[in-house]
Each structure stands twice: as structure tokens, then as C-alpha cells.
Structure 1
Amino acid sequence: MKKRSLLLLTIVALLTSCAQGPQWQDLFNGENLEGWEKLNGTAEYKVEDGAIVGISQLNTPNTFLATNEVYDDFILEFEFKVDDGLNSGVQFRSNSLPEFHEGRVHGYQFEIDPSERAWTGGVYDEARRGWLYPLNYNPEGQKAFKNGEWNKARVEAIGNSIRTWVNDVPCTDLLDNTTASGFIALQVHSIGSAEQEGKTVAWRNIRILTDELEQYKMPENSEVKQINQIANTISEKEAAEGWKLLWDGKSSEGWRGAKLDGFPEKGWSMEEGILKVHKSDGGESTNGGDIVTTKPYKNFMLKVDFRITEGANSGIKYFVDTNLNKGQGSAIGCEYQILDDRRHPDAKAGKDGNRTLGSLYDLIPASADKPFRNGFFNTAMVVVEGNHVEHWLNGVKIVEY
């Protein structure tokens, strides 16, 4: 009888636990700003009609209202409404550290963008790398935001996976391992004109879930493009789509010198998962020379993460025929130009900027407003389908022919 009673008690406890559902924690009490702290700027935040209202102000940098608590893995939900013409966002896994630009807030941001660009729900890396997942990756997600109305947002940050929703429409699917924990913060963006002063952005029903996340996370959506920012890895979703690594992060397997049978003995090195080309005397392929894949490719999508030092000049070539030039100079093919536009003289050579970063070298200039991340890794992408070719930089198309 005692064993039966214990069994019944256990079953009742389990049923009670299941009936309770997810244990959400309110981050805003609807009455005051208890549990929050203003950082960086001087824009005003106030509580009005059960919502936190941020008010734009001239002559102040971005202002943030941050939680006192920090969070690592979580599901965050909130509602927001923004005046037309005012950019904003919600920071997560973000920090303010004395050693980073004197405490400047930095980290992931859920974008709030009422402009025609329509990137609300995208993921931006505030004060660091810039755009990680612009919403031109997901045209359906661009349609979810309702201008002038209350919108519902959801952010799932679980391990290296970051996913967002706007009004229950999936917007982003990002893999990134840069920052594992930090505070939540509400942004009032800086403004540049008096016409923008006094515009407002409001948030309400802000809540977070930190337990049993695997049980309550949304199912995977194969229709949303996944962007993988973790170096030298292929995710399960990418593998299912057919992506393969061209470089394993540690060896020269699959590569050779453009004019050699093997890999160059100088001019290149592999350190900590990074393939480096060494500084040369400025001549064309006078150090280790170009390297090429051992296999040819026809129709493809090629992604390469690259970072440059001051004054660097490099490139990503495709359709290379190593038999066309056996003498001095580099291999011949189409080139996605990689260049320090601000410091290298080649940026001002050529015609109409067709030697600048991202251009089809010496032929078609890249867009002037391309999203380059100075000092960080950038993602170049070349898309080839038949006779149609595109150059992309950090999720933005910059050349098409």
C-alpha cells in the first residue's frame, strides 16, 4: 500500500509539473524601471501605460536600458512599437566592459527597423562586426513587421544557435560562438537631425525563459536560410543542403600552388584554424604565389571568411585556368577583389572604383556602401549559376553580372 501511494504521488507531481507549462520570468513589472540600468547615452526612458518608452534625443550616442541580470541560454519574448524613421533594437548576450571602448555596449542585437529596408528581426552585432544576419537573407521575414502597430518578437539563444521571430514569422537562423552570456538591453538609437528628436520606441510584456529550453523551443524550419559564423565548420542543416568545406582548417589537403604540383613551401601558413598569406614586396605573386583547389567547379555558391591587415591586397579567384599563364605573375581568372580601400593605392586606380573591395577586378565596381567590417572577419560569397554571377559581402549583394 505504501509503494502504491508513493507511485500515485509521483504521478500526480509529474502531471502538476506538466500542467504548469513554461516558467516565464517577467523582466519588466509594468510600473517602474526596477531591475534596469541606463548605459552610454542620455536619451530618456519612462514608463507609460504599462510599457517602457524610449525617447530619441539629439547630441547623445546610442542609449541603452540594460537588465541588472545577465543571461546565457534563454528564450526571450517582448512586444514593441516604434515611430516611423527611428531605428532601434533589443540587445542580448551583450556587455559593457571598461576595457572595451570605455564601457561601450556591445553584443547581439535584435534589429527594429521601420524603414523601407525592412530588416526588423535581423541580427546585428552592436559596436563590433555589424550585420550577422541581414533580412535580405529571408524575404518572407521582411514582410512580418507591422509599421505603427504593436509587434511580437521572440529570440531563442541556445548554445551557439540564435533564432528570431516577428509576429510568429521566422526571421533568422544564425550560428555564432562569439559571446555566450550578457544582459538584455533596450536601445534608443542616436539621431542626426532635429526632425528625428522626440520620436519614440516602446516595449511591453518583456519576459524570459531560462529552464527546459529544449522542450519549449520552436521546431526547426528548413525554409529559413541558416548562416554559420563558426569557423571551419559545417552544420547539419548546411550538410543537408550540400555544403562542404574546401579547407579543413589545418592542412593543405585539396589545394596546390597555381603553378606547382604541390602546396607552396613559402608565402603561406596555417595557424589556429586560419590560412594566412604572408606579406610580400608588393609584386604580383612574388612570394608563395596563388593557390588553387585541386578540383574544378562550375555552378556553385562559394563562401570565404577573410580578414585583412592595413594596406592589404588579395583576392578570391574563380574560373581559374592554370594553363593560361606559366610565367611570372598571378593565375588568370575572374577575381573577387580583396583590398584595404582606405590605404591601398589600387583602390583609386582602374575605372569607376572597379578595383575596390568586392569588385569584379578591373571590370565591375562593387557598391560603394558595402558593409565592410574593419578589423574583423568578413564573409565573401560568390554565386555562379550558368552565365549569372553575383558577389556578396556580409549578406549584401554588391556585384551582379
Structure 2
Amino acid sequence: MISDATIVLSQIKNNWEILFDGKDLDKWQTNSGKEVRSDSWEVKEGVLSLKPNDKGKGTGRDINTKEKYENFELILSFKLTNRANTGVKYLVNPLKDKKGNQMMVGIEYQLIDDIDYPAPAEYKTPEGLTGAVYSFYPTNKKKKFAVYDWNTIKIVKKNRHIEHWLNGKKIVSYEIGSPDYLEKLAKNKFNQYSDLANVNSGCISLQDHGDLVYFKDIKIRRLKY
């Protein structure tokens, strides 16, 4: 049997940076740059989750990596609960809207209960289903996944080229700044953030949408292009 220490050493040799080691959130911070509170995000038995209240809902806020990444490969595992909605954001930066208001904004790998969460099906928005580039691109055909099961995602950025993977299958690819991307940006709710037109680097963010979700095995490696 391969020991945990051997696995960690192997990841370091292959240029993997462990963003969550199952023990602490030292590589993460809040939107305001503060330490993540233990009463909002919970680390238990090697798993990270939004700490649930008495109704089973998360009570934290989005958390971001302390470092920014340009070209990278990000891998993590997630588990949803029934009707849960969350996401993994990348290229996250403090951006100003047209009125000068600033907030942390990036591009989102959508994670949602495709079956029981009502909005995507009700409003017929495939770009709101799991694996989609939220509000931009739907997935191609993907295998169904079950809530309460662990699933693995991969996000790859190579200059302007982005790929979304789910459980070993590539389900989305697109180009930041392409005519198609710019057309979609102009029509969706993020059009007030002009810097998204050619965003090139930023933080990784785990989204709190008020629902109970779980994450583990979060790692990233920088790519040279």
C-alpha cells in the first residue's frame, strides 16, 4: 500500500501544489483577505464543508486562494447534497462594475443538483447545469452524476484556452476573449465587469451559495506557456 507521505512527495515532484490537505485552510482567505473562520467552513476527517446550521445549510462566505494563478491545471473532488448549488470559480479578482462598486468576480465552473434544483430546468438554462461555464457555455454530453457521491473536476487554463472536465471526461472548452466569448459576455449578467473580456490570471474560489456541499483533494499545478 502506498503511504500518504509517498503520495504527497510524488505530487511535489510533479509540481502539484496542495491547496487543501485535509487539515487546514492556510492557503485560503475570505473576500476581504482575512483568515477563514472555523465557524463558517469546517474541516473534518479530511473533508472541507460549509459548516451547516440547524437546517443543514452552510453559513460561510466564498473563500479564495491567497495566491493568483495564470496557466494551471486544477483538480478537486466535490460532493453535493440534495438541491445544493455552488461552484468553483477561477481567474477571480476584485473588479469594479460600471458604477464603481467592487467585488470579487471570476469565471465559474458550475456545481449544482441537476435534477432537483429547480432553476436550470425551469428556465431552460443549460449553462446553469453542473460542469457549465456559468452564464456562458453549457456542457456537451456528460454522464449523469449523483448527489451524495464524490465526483472529480478538472479545470485547465492554457493562455486563452480553458477546459472543464468532469469525472475524467472533457465537457467544455472555450477561448477567453474570442468573438463568441465576448458576445456571450455582452449578453449575460457579468457584462458590467469589462475586465472579464480579457482576464488572464486570478485566484481560485469556492462558492458559498447557502447550501451544504463538500470538497476534498484540492490541488493545482502551474503550467508554462
Of 207, 223, 241 in structure 1, the residue corresponding to residue 219 of structure 2 is: 207
What's the CA shift for 1:79? 0.5
Cα distance in 2, alignment partners of residues 122 and 51 from structure 1: 24
| Letter paired with 1:83 | T
* Aligned partners of 1:74 and 1:156 also within 8 Å: yes
More helix by share: 2
Cα distance in 1, alignment partners of residues 199 and 60 from structure 2: 21
Cα distance in 2, alignment partners of residues 166 and 201 from structure 1: 17
Describe how 1:21-36 pairs up with structure 2 within 5 A.
Answer: 22-36=14-28
SS in 2 for 1:63: coil
* Aligned partners of 2:48 and 2:214 also within 8 Å: yes
> Quick check: 1:180 aligned with 2:176?
no
The Cα RMSD (Å) is 3.0
What's the CA shift for 1:113? 1.2
Cα distance in 1, alignment partners of residues 224 and 176 from structure 2: 21
SS in 1 for 2:207: strand
> Quick check: 1:38 aligned with 2:16?
no
Deviations 1:200-247 (A, max 9, x none): 11111111111357xxxxxxxxxxxxxxxxxxxxxxxxxxxxxxxxxx
Residue 92 of structure 2 aligns with which residue?
Answer: 94
Describe how 1:190-229 pairs up with structure 2 within 5 A.
Answer: 190=210, 199-212=211-224
| Letter paired with 1:31 | K
Residue 186 of structure 2 aligns with which residue?
Answer: none
* Aligned partners of 1:164 and 1:171 also within 8 Å: yes
SS in 1 for 2:20: coil
* Aligned partners of 1:50 and 1:204 also within 8 Å: yes
Cα distance in 1, alignment partners of residues 137 and 199 from structure 2: 16
Residue 6 of structure 2 aligns with which residue?
Answer: none
* Aligned partners of 2:89 and 2:207 also within 8 Å: yes
Give the direction of change, closer, same or farther, for the CA distance of 1:121–1:56 in structure 2 (3 Å limit).
Answer: farther
* Aligned partners of 1:55 and 1:188 also within 8 Å: no
Cα distance in 2, alignment partners of residues 103 and 61 from structure 1: 23
> Quick check: 1:53 aligned with 2:49?
yes
TM-score, normalising length: structure 1 = 0.40
Residue 73 of structure 1 aligns with which residue?
Answer: 71
Residue 132 of structure 1 aligns with which residue?
Answer: 136
* Aligned partners of 1:78 and 1:153 also within 8 Å: yes
Greater Cα radius of gyration, structure 1 or 2: 1
What's the CA shift for 1:80? 0.6
Cα distance in 2, alignment partners of residues 91 and 44 from structure 1: 19
What's the CA shift for 1:145? 2.8
> Quick check: 1:156 aligned with 2:156?
yes
Of 113, 117, 120 in structure 1, the residue corresponding to residue 130 of structure 2 is: 120
Residue 346 of structure 1 aligns with which residue?
Answer: none
- Gap regions ≥5 residues in structure 2: 1-11, 116-120, 178-197
What's the CA shift for 1:176? 1.2
TM-score, normalising length: structure 2 = 0.68
Deviations 1:304-358 (A, max 9, x none): xxxxxxxxxxxxxxxxxxxxxxxxxxxxxxxxxxxxxxxxxxxxxxxxxxxxxxx
Aligned length: 175
Cα distance in 1, alignment partners of residues 70 and 200 from structure 2: 6
Describe how 1:10-29 pairs up with structure 2 within 5 A.
Answer: 22-29=14-21
What's the CA shift for 1:56? 6.2
Cα distance in 1, alignment partners of residues 166 and 145 from structure 2: 6
Cα distance in 2, alignment partners of residues 37 and 179 from structure 1: 21
* Aligned partners of 1:161 and 1:176 also within 8 Å: yes
What's the CA shift for 1:163? 0.5
* Aligned partners of 1:84 and 1:115 also within 8 Å: no
Cα distance in 2, alignment partners of residues 144 and 21 from structure 1: 34
Describe how 1:245-284 pairs up with structure 2 within 5 A.
Answer: none
| Letter paired with 2:22 | G
Residue 106 of structure 2 aligns with which residue?
Answer: 107
Deviations 1:180-206 (A, max 9, x none): 01000100114xxxxxxxx41111111
Cα distance in 1, alignment partners of residues 70 and 224 from structure 2: 13
Describe how 1:277-316 pairs up with structure 2 within 5 A.
Answer: none
* Aligned partners of 1:120 and 1:145 also within 8 Å: no
Residue 292 of structure 1 aligns with which residue?
Answer: none
Identity score, percent: 25
